[in-house]
Amino acid sequence: MPELGKYAVAVLSSYGVTLALLAGLVGLTFWRAGRVKAALREIEARQGKGSDG
């Protein structure tokens, strides 16, 4: 851990907020991707067609 001095709060909270926001965005993206993919697979199976991506 580097010595951050008196500005530790500012630096750490910047990194914290950024990582939280990015993680949220990436997480949301993958969660939605997974759900949509599953829904598509289900409906394609129901219609008796092979999955194409």
Partner 1 sequence: MSLWEYANPRKFMETSALVLPWLWALALVCLLGGLAWGFFFTPDDYKQGSTVKIIYIHVPAAMMAINAWVMMLIASLIWLVRRHHVSALAARAAAPVGMTFTLIALATGAFWGQPMWGTWWEWDPRLTSFLILFLFYLGYVALWEAIDNPDTAADLTGVLCLVGSVFAVLSRYAVNFWNQGLHQGASLSLDKRENVSDVYWFPLLICIAGFVLLFVALVLQRTRTEIRLRRIKALEARERLA
- 50 sits near partner 1 (criterion: CB under 8 A): no
In angstroms, the CA 53 to CA 35 distance is 14
Binding mask 1-40 for partner 1 (x = CB under 8 A): -xxxxxxx-xx-xxx-xx--xx-xxx--xx-xx--xx-xx
One-character DSSP codes across 1-53? ----GGGHHHHHHHHHHHHHHHHHHHHHHHHHHHHHHHHHHHHHHHTT-----
Q: Total number of residues binding partner 1 (CB under 8 A)?
A: 33
In the complex, the residues that contact partner 1 under the rule CB under 8 A are 2-8, 10-11, 13-15, 17-18, 21-22, 24-26, 29-30, 32-33, 36-37, 39-40, 43-44, 46-47, 52-53
